[in-house]
Structure 1
Amino acid sequence: MYSVTEVLVALLIVILVWILLVSPLQQWYSKHSRFCHLMSELPGPKIVPLFGNTYEFVENPLNKFTELLTHMIKTHGPIFRMWVGPFTCTVHVSSWRYAESIFNSSVHIDKSSLYSFLHSWLGTGLLTSTGAKWHLRRKLLTPAFHRSVLDSFQEVFSDKSDTLIKILEVERKKSESFDIAPFIWQCSLDIICETAMGTKMNIQESVSKNDTAYLKAISYAAESGLYRLLRPWLHPQLLFDISPRGRKYKKSVEIMHSFTNKVIQERKKEYLDSKRMEVNGFTDENEKFRIKKRRMAFIDVLIETTLGDGEEEKHHLTDEGIREEVDTFMFEGHDTTASGISWTIYLLGRHPDIQEEVAREINEVFGQESIKSTQKLSELRLLDRCIHESLRLYPSVPVIARELNKEVKLGGHTLPAGTELFIHMFYMHRDKELFPEPEKFNPDNFLPEACEKRPPYAFVPFSAGPRNCIGQKFAMQEAKTVVASIVKNYRIESIESPQELVLLMEMILRSQNGIKVRLHPRN
């Protein structure tokens, strides 16, 4: 016979097991089974146990990713599901009709949980944060992209573009044809270092050993995102951390954080020193002039916001918070813009008639002047349309992902809260109903009268809605300056046809073999 105490203890254990284990498992199963049922209603490829639908992507090199994704969209339509391993199912849409209700919503603004892969690098800055923190950061960072701030950056855009032209001239004399993309990437990174961190790294001319390590770390961390996404066994943080890729990724993050932290401390010291000198009176007129003339970088705006004087309420950012935003801007602000510039150069090089029209427009507006006037830059309307058309055909960010916060119906299908939704702009921008001859480079697609006829979310290279890209004006201003500088000095001849290109749909859209061109000096 069992004693009363033993029976009570056993009963207590059963109750605890039920509360802590069985009940949550039942709830999870009930929720998961409904989720699985709703996902099964969607079209999609055949599921392989454990791998889901990623086995094709894993067994093929990354340069086959675009080809496989294109095949899935053609086979299963503009909305389909894809299992990433046994527990995560993603839904993919490639039509503005499905994306419209997401972009137009103030509810579905959370980035996919897969962006958490970037947390160890970017923290929870503007790109990866959610909820109240995202709203606060968005409000906090908006002044950093005011027109007056962008105007002050124009001199940097112009000077770095002039340096690019000198370097391209050297390369042109060495090789009849060459890949122009790395030179554009270096120019864009040069620009972002000075505008974001106030640091002149002169990347296009020469870089120090420490600078080189930082640049390599950015590249490695960025390309690791897609690699990890397509390998479900690397999704758990612990398994990724102990993997060879994870260990190298961690070292890359440490290098980047160390670099950014150093710059933050230097810029904070400069800021506080200048404030003390203002209070105590300047003893050196040269120093007074230097401080007054110094251009504010993105990092200075953040420091001013958290430390500056004024009656408005201050939102105090820690050094970690400043680093999150600077690292985010460094990542998002150079690769995306370099991609957009490279593709515009490629398309102009494929269409000499349009290129010559652009060259005439640039000469009429600027003549022999350097491209340092933002007012005159705004008059390059054909170039503006060319860049937009380039972003239609080759969007810098080909896909974005959101996590649905509420259940939603898309195309007759019910998507429950928590669904990971991928919106493929690369395919959305090729809608035959909205863009006749969708594969053709036609800047007239962006004449005002053509834009007015299209739905508002048919063209979204900078995302759309409340969570659109805060830096899109910065990107367009930089792109117009760099492209105008190149076209002003050279006639571009692109070598490869669109059919010969191998597109890499990583976090940024790029060509596997770069953008090969011949440059012919203009008289």
Structure 2
Amino acid sequence: MEVSPPQELLFLFLFFLLAGSVFVPRLMKWYSHRLHFVDFMEKLPGPVPLPLFGNTWDFVVNPQNKFMDLMTQAVKDYGSIFRIWMGPFMGTVHVCSWKYAEDIFSSNVHIEKSSTYSFVHAWLGTGLLTSTGAKWHSRRKMLTPAFHRTILDSYQEVFVDKTSTLLKLLETKSKESKVFDIAPFIWQCSLDIICETAMGTNMDIQKKVSEEDAAYLKSISFVAESTLHRFLKPWLHSKIIFDLSSRGREFNKSVKIMHTFSNKVIKAKKQEYSMSHKNGVADKNEDIGLTKKRKAFIDILIEAAFAEGHDKKPILSDEDIREEVDTFMFEGHDTTASGISWTIYLLGLHPEIQEDVAAEINEVYGKEKINSTQKLSELRLLDRCVRESLRLYPSVPMIARKLREDVQLGEYLVPAETELVIHMFHMHRDKELFPEPEKFNPDNFLPEACEKRPAFAFVPFSAGSRNCIGQKFAMQEAKTVVASIVQNFKIKSAEQPKDLILLPELILRSEKGIKVTLQPRN
């Protein structure tokens, strides 16, 4: 039966009528929501947006090493809360004061990470750093015991061993009596530490770098740098477009290299676990305490996976385990190495404070290695120095959340769906709370000074329910490494703060490294 032209037109009319009844209301709802969102966003101070680019033109035409300067200028121009349009659709609100940040940190609602964290999903999956909702709550509860004091104490042996290797390398550099970049040495030491504590793998990167290790290290650096690059280029926010770009292809290649490394270790560790639980019986010597085997983070994850029994289906898949191991590998070495490097830099600028720290170390440890965690807690001036360096140069200079509800921040109502960025770098320079905010002053962290400040004035490890689960690990490692270096060397930094070029990739770096000279104390 043929359909006549009038009938064709009728069918076409009915089709568009049906389609319109479905899509037009949705379009109208989106448009109404969009007008509401834009209206509230435009009540916030901020630069005038351009078509298509929003406020990203300066980020596009300037190199990435100008990002911190641009953000500092924005704080001067618009104050401690302002908005920036990242392209035509993504509205971001930036807060640089504890007065606004405390409403986010103290909330159990605003805990979802920004959509920009999806840029590292290919690498870290949805582990503890990037997950949200029930998965995040479950993982947080599961992983908290891995950072118990007894576990951290067991890692001290690793901290001391890898730091001893670092000291030998620095001794060689000190004999040259030349300015050199100490950051790569600290970075490799920290990576050695995290490989053994997280993976249970002794890579000895400081002594030798295999071809596989070198590829892994290069991949981490490239992925970190690419994440900021992608954030600042709105057209690369689309995964399809990013994956088609040359950088996206190299990014995915780097992720594959890192996953191959992690998967190999997980496979070996699971085989080791299966052998130790053959026939459902664990190593009896370990059970009755005749041996004391130090557990790596991955061992704890595998045990958690089989918490319901070795013969049952694992609670965590290999991919789940890899998510958390990769997250801990990144957060446990890059951020810590950054904190250590900046502390060394600041002590090298202030020889009088450095000598006071050296005297404290000598009083507590003498010539002994920094191998006692109990004595480590007695290094109170050193502790204040590390915290003050984290104030001035926080390892993670900013974090971002996705608001799922409207929230009142001071006089401004910030709408749901906003990407909210909290700048710890600028928050920590509040002159009302830190007199002479650019000055390195460990007395800012005397107990009486801390008591006078608001709870969220200093948040290098974030705060609230989504604070960094590994902050005690990081502080213990940082104090061990810094104390060991100061115990053995006099440090002199070669550059003033005004000459530094800061790179806020996934962590805060100095573009030219941390240039120092070392002089043996003996």
Shared fold by TM > 0.5?
yes
Distance 2:104 2:456 in 1: 10
* Aligned 1:446-457 pairs, distance under 5 A: 446-457=445-456
Tell me if structure 1 keeps the 8 A contact 2:80–2:95. yes
Distance 1:196 1:429 in 2: 31
Letter in 1 for 2:226: S
* Aligned 1:340-489 pairs, distance under 5 A: 340-489=339-488
Q: Taking structure 1 as reference, are residues 379 and 76 closer, same or farther at Cα in structure 2, changes over 3 Å only?
A: same
Letter in 2 for 1:452: E
The CA deviation at 1:277 is 7.5
Distance 2:7 2:355 in 1: 93
* Aligned 1:226-265 pairs, distance under 5 A: 226-265=228-267
Distance 2:215 2:503 in 1: 24
The CA deviation at 1:506 is 1.8
Aligned partner of residue 92 in structure 1, secondary structure? strand
Distance 1:4 1:291 in 2: 91
From 48, 53, 56, the equivalent of 2:55 is 53
The CA deviation at 1:8 is 6.5
TM-score, normalised via structure 2 length: 0.95
Counterpart residue number, 2:192: 190
The CA deviation at 1:26 is 1.2
Distance 1:446 1:245 in 2: 43
* Aligned 1:177-216 pairs, distance under 5 A: 177-216=179-218
Tell me if structure 2 keeps the 8 A contact 1:194–1:200. yes
Distance 1:143 1:478 in 2: 18
Distance 1:257 1:290 in 2: 35
Letter in 1 for 2:489: Y
Distance 2:280 2:483 in 1: 41
Aligned partner of residue 281 in structure 2, secondary structure? helix
Q: Taking structure 1 as reference, are residues 130 and 66 closer, same or farther at Cα in structure 2, changes over 3 Å only?
A: same
Percent identity, aligned pairs only, is: 66
Aligned partner of residue 194 in structure 2, secondary structure? helix
Equivalent pairs counted in the alignment come to 519
Distance 1:511 1:40 in 2: 35
Unaligned runs of 5+ in 2: none
Counterpart residue number, 1:139: 141
Identify the range of structure 1 (264-273 vs 25-34) with the bigger mean alpha-carbon deviation.
25-34
Residue 306 (1) aligns with residue 308 (2): no
The CA deviation at 1:12 is 3.6
Q: Taking structure 1 as reference, are residues 15 and 208 closer, same or farther at Cα in structure 2, changes over 3 Å only?
A: same
Distance 1:366 1:277 in 2: 47
Tell me if structure 2 keeps the 8 A contact 1:363–1:488. yes
Counterpart residue number, 1:221: 223
Q: Taking structure 1 as reference, are residues 438 and 278 closer, same or farther at Cα in structure 2, changes over 3 Å only?
A: same
Distance 1:304 1:335 in 2: 26
Distance 1:141 1:15 in 2: 54
Residue 81 (1) aligns with residue 80 (2): no
Q: Taking structure 1 as reference, are residues 173 and 291 closer, same or farther at Cα in structure 2, changes over 3 Å only?
A: farther
Counterpart residue number, 1:267: 269
TM-score, normalised via structure 1 length: 0.95
Counterpart residue number, 2:164: 162
Letter in 2 for 1:273: M
Unaligned runs of 5+ in 1: none
The CA deviation at 1:173 is 2.1
Tell me if structure 1 keeps the 8 A contact 2:95–2:101. yes
Q: Taking structure 1 as reference, are residues 498 and 197 closer, same or farther at Cα in structure 2, changes over 3 Å only?
A: same
Q: Taking structure 1 as reference, are residues 383 and 17 closer, same or farther at Cα in structure 2, changes over 3 Å only?
A: same
Distance 1:214 1:10 in 2: 58
Q: Taking structure 1 as reference, are residues 268 and 412 closer, same or farther at Cα in structure 2, changes over 3 Å only?
A: same
C-alpha RMSD of matched pairs (Å)? 2.2
The CA deviation at 1:15 is 3.5
Tell me if structure 2 keeps the 8 A contact 1:274–1:291. no
From 112, 127, 130, the equivalent of 2:129 is 127
The CA deviation at 1:174 is 3.1
What do the CA deviations read for 1:343-386 (whole angstroms, capped 9, x no partner)? 00011111111111110111111112111111111111110010
Tell me if structure 2 keeps the 8 A contact 1:267–1:300. yes
Identify the range of structure 1 (269-278 vs 400-409) with the bigger mean alpha-carbon deviation.
269-278
Distance 2:290 2:298 in 1: 16
Aligned partner of residue 440 in structure 1, secondary structure? coil
The CA deviation at 1:131 is 0.5
Identify the range of structure 1 (13-22 vs 155-164) with the bigger mean alpha-carbon deviation.
13-22
Q: Taking structure 1 as reference, are residues 32 and 521 closer, same or farther at Cα in structure 2, changes over 3 Å only?
A: same
The CA deviation at 1:34 is 1.1
Distance 2:187 2:438 in 1: 25
Q: Taking structure 1 as reference, are residues 288 and 400 closer, same or farther at Cα in structure 2, changes over 3 Å only?
A: closer
Letter in 1 for 2:32: S
Q: Taking structure 1 as reference, are residues 441 and 236 closer, same or farther at Cα in structure 2, changes over 3 Å only?
A: same
What do the CA deviations read for 1:62-103 (whole angstroms, capped 9, x no partner)? 111111111111001111110111111111010110001000
Aligned partner of residue 139 in structure 1, secondary structure? helix
Tell me if structure 1 keeps the 8 A contact 2:339–2:394. yes
Counterpart residue number, 1:101: 103
Letter in 2 for 1:478: E
Tell me if structure 2 keeps the 8 A contact 1:152–1:295. yes
Aligned partner of residue 461 in structure 1, secondary structure? coil
Residue 152 (1) aligns with residue 154 (2): yes
The CA deviation at 1:19 is 3.8
What do the CA deviations read for 1:186-242 (whole angstroms, capped 9, x no partner)? 111110111110011101110211111111111111111100000011111110001
* Aligned 1:278-357 pairs, distance under 5 A: 279=281, 292-308=291-307, 316-357=315-356
Q: Taking structure 1 as reference, are residues 185 and 279 closer, same or farther at Cα in structure 2, changes over 3 Å only?
A: same
The CA deviation at 1:33 is 1.2
Q: Taking structure 1 as reference, are residues 386 and 15 closer, same or farther at Cα in structure 2, changes over 3 Å only?
A: same
The CA deviation at 1:17 is 1.5
Distance 2:302 2:224 in 1: 26
* Aligned 1:34-45 pairs, distance under 5 A: 34-45=36-47
Tell me if structure 2 keeps the 8 A contact 1:305–1:314. no
The CA deviation at 1:14 is 2.8
Distance 1:149 1:279 in 2: 23
Counterpart residue number, 2:19: 17
